[in-house]
A = this chain, B = another copy of it.
Amino acid sequence: MARTIGSHGPKTLEAIRKAGVRLIYEHGYEAMSLRQLAAEVGIQAGSLYNHISTKQDLLFDLVQDHINDLLRQLDLALEGKTDPVEKLRIFVGFHVSYHMTRKRETFIANSELRSLEPKNYEVVVALRGAYEGRLTQILADGVAEGAFEVVDIQIATFAILALLTGPCSWYRPGGRLTKEAILAAHEKLVLSGVGAAQTATGEVREASNRPHSALAGERP
């Protein structure tokens, strides 16, 4: 049978990764079958092995690449900044934006770690630790400077990350809540939560004047 035009070489790998992200996001790694994935890409299951080595490796690559990218871009965004409050605001903005833009990759990187083989798991957890460490450091600096007031830096780190990652599981583009509103709301929550003075940055205050009554959510 003639093969589908346009799925040669590296393009096929990209198609596999893309379909993989979607299928893992939708069904979970365990529940996704390589036959499904192959069908999505338009090839036979066996042909996948011209592009990936194992199903496990596909997951590992997707997760690892995601976190590496996350870390690289975060460092880019923070480059040259010194004020803890500004850095925290940048962190919040970056994290929320990035997670809403690539919610599927994020979701996978958070919820499918369990399916990683021990060796792969450790690699990924180390990377994740580095990313978390950036936030911990910001908080520690801020507390040292007296800019933040938190009960426990470790807890605060986890809590803020949990809070900021939340939207990636309910955000729907085109819904009632715009990215900007979500970002503003989380920025306020975090900065208030750590006791940062926010008076200087007028936008937050302004944002809080928007209507906020709607009880109907957009979760599916």
Chain A residues with CB under 8 Å of chain B are 26-28, 30-31, 111, 114-115, 125, 129, 132-133, 136-137, 140, 143, 149-163, 165-167, 170, 176-177, 181-182, 184-186, 188-190, 192-195, 204, 207-208, 210, 212-220
**Which one of A137, A159, A166, A213 has the highest number of Cβ atoms from chain B below 10 Å of its Cβ?**
A159
Majority SS of interface residues in chain A? helix
Can you list 8 residue pairs at the A/B interface with Cβ under 8 Å? A27-B114, A152-B185, A154-B218, A156-B185, A156-B212, A188-B193, A192-B195, A193-B193
Residue of B whose beta carbon sits closest to that of A215: B136
Across the interface, which residues of B come within 8 angstroms of A166, CB to CB? 158-159, 161-163
> Once bound together, how far apart are the Cα atoms of A153 and B207, in whole Å?
12
Q: This chain: how many copies in the complex?
A: 4
> Once bound together, how far apart are the Cα atoms of A17 and B21, in whole Å?
32
Residue of B whose beta carbon sits closest to that of A217: B154
> Once bound together, how far apart are the Cα atoms of A160 and B163, in whole Å?
7
Question: Out of B30, B140, B150, B181, which one reaches A155, CB within 8 Å?
Answer: B181
Question: A116 → chain B, closest Cβ, in Å?
Answer: 12
Contact B151 A208 (CB under 8 A): yes
Across the interface, which residues of B come within 8 angstroms of A115, CB to CB? 28, 31
Question: A67 → chain B, closest Cβ, in Å?
Answer: 15
Across the interface, which residues of B come within 8 angstroms of A30, CB to CB? 28, 30-31
Known: A28-B115, A150-B208, A212-B150. A155 touches B136 (CB 8 A): no
Contact B185 A215 (CB under 8 A): no
Across the interface, which residues of B come within 8 angstroms of A182, CB to CB? 152, 155
Residue of B whose beta carbon sits closest to that of A208: B151
> Once bound together, how far apart are the Cα atoms of A189 and B189, in whole Å?
8
Contact B170 A214 (CB under 8 A): no
